[in-house]
Amino acid sequence: MPSEFIMATLSQTKEIFRRAEAVCFDVDSTVIKEEGIDELAKFCGVGDAVTEITRKAMGGSMTFKTALNERLSIIRCSREQVNKLITDHPPQLTPGIRELVDRLHQCNIKVFLISGGFRCIVEHVATQLNIPLHHVYANQLKFYFNGEYAGFDESQPTAESGGKGKVISMLKEQYSFKTMVMIGDGATDLEACPPANAFIGFGGNVVRPQVKDKALWYVTSFGELLKELEKI
């Protein structure tokens, strides 16, 4: 790609970000430092087996739903274990995310969290960032009445490959948004553009080479995005 074309598309991406009506963030390794499912697996004593499947899923060698199913059937966490994880090892916010979300809210830009992770963990993160819970899209764990693991809600769009794009299309329809931006570290975030009008790759916690190569705008700190919002 000629460098002047890359510069033009970079400045267009920045302009779309400044004009955005809504910004959607991935959660694991973007808004928070860790991968929620890997933390849950470690907490339940099956960390290594699950990390291996996560790696395969990220590499694209199995569908997202298959990978999710396989990992959860190894973890088989109870409701009690999930609650204890959140209490004992609360998700660690990535530096700068709180300030960025506050600034977006001040600019009247709606903020959504779209995650292939678990709603119980993502809601905890949303509360810390003053993001309304109806702006959270994530996978729902299911438990039997005695609290034992009973699977996950396979009907959620976030349980599918391409699910983040489906959520963005739905939000565009529901709120009549013209301009939406997706921010994240992974391939599933990159794939959500389109329907997102722009994608910003985030490498502050982990750099995924295939995302870095394809993102028109790639940042390693949320400070870079804050600086751009100062131009509004």
DSSP-H helix ranges across the chain: 3-19, 36-43, 47-58, 64-75, 79-88, 97-106, 119-128, 163-175, 187-190, 209-214, 222-229
User: Among all chains, which residue has been given the structure tokens 């565009």?
Assistant: 172
88 noted as active-site residue? no
**Angle of helix 47-58 relative to helix 64-75, nearest 10 degrees?**
180
Active-site choice (28, 38, 185, 189): 28
26 noted as active-site residue? yes
How far is it, in rounded angstroms, from Cα 27 to Cα 36?
9
Q: Which amino acid is at 61?
A: S
Q: Are 164 and 136 in contact (CB under 8 A)?
A: no
List, by residue number, the catalytic residues: 26, 28
